[in-house]
Amino acid sequence: MSTLTVALVQTDIQWCDRAANLAKLSTQLLECKDVDLILLPETFATGFAIAERRIRVDETGEDVLVWMKKMSATLDAVIAGSVLVHQGNKAANRFFWVWPNGDVQFYDKRHLFRLGNEGDFVVAGTNRTVLTVKGVRILPLVCYDLRFPVWSRNCNDYDVLVNVANWPAARRHIWDTLLKARAMENQAFVLGVNRVGEDGNGVAHNGGTAGYDFVGEPLGIAPDNQEAICKLTLDLQALAQFKTSFPAFLDADVFSIES
């Protein structure tokens, strides 16, 4: 496939209210017709309420995954976003990917946000995952993962890096900078999806949802401090031509990652 059309959904998440968030998104996503992939923020159904056991879903995804399957089939697009899922006495921050035919894949967030004590409530994932959507190879990451370039290093095994987040406004400059850096160093498209609004802990988020091409140039950026859907078309042929003309990936260091 030479192009991939994506919709990046920047939304204000109601704290611990799955029903309200899914109802609102059901309306918002009606704008996402004729796209291949729809990306939702980290913990889109509840907010980053990692200490609240009552809002976690079981490993089947319960009502959240049922909703994702319904919307994916209705819009004929892959829908992806992270959900807090019961994992023993803790949770997994699970980045679900749902196909229109009902297929489901996922990636569990690897790097847990120490400053927010995420590790006290969430189990770290161990598997780096590459998914394929209409022939396009995608590396899914969640929020804090963005700070760790080894985990996101392109071993010539992906075309697009996706990061969904609840990234605070106080560190917005870092978010913007790292998204561009990951694109340039990995010679890949990078898509970042963040929320807006204040969460239940009083943490402000001002967005920064954006797509960048393989040299770090913006393809589209959602407006700050408001809900918006940013639609982009990724030209995979242009990526291939660039990598042929500037094959820096062939000089990358060989390494391995330990769990």
Residues classed as catalytic: 42, 109, 143
Whether 232 contacts 171, CB under 8 Å: no
Neighbours of 215 (CB within 10 A): 11
Q: Distance between CA atoms of 54 and 92, rounded to whole angstroms?
A: 14
The two structure tokens encoding residue 214: 């393989």
Q: Could you tell me how many residues make up the chain?
A: 259
Asked if 157 and 136 count as a contact pair (C-beta separation under 8 A), the reply is no
DSSP 210-240: EEE-TTS-EEEEPPTTS-EEEEEEEEHHHHH
Assigned token pair, 95: 């980045």
**DSSP result, 102-118:** S-EEEEE--S--GGGTG
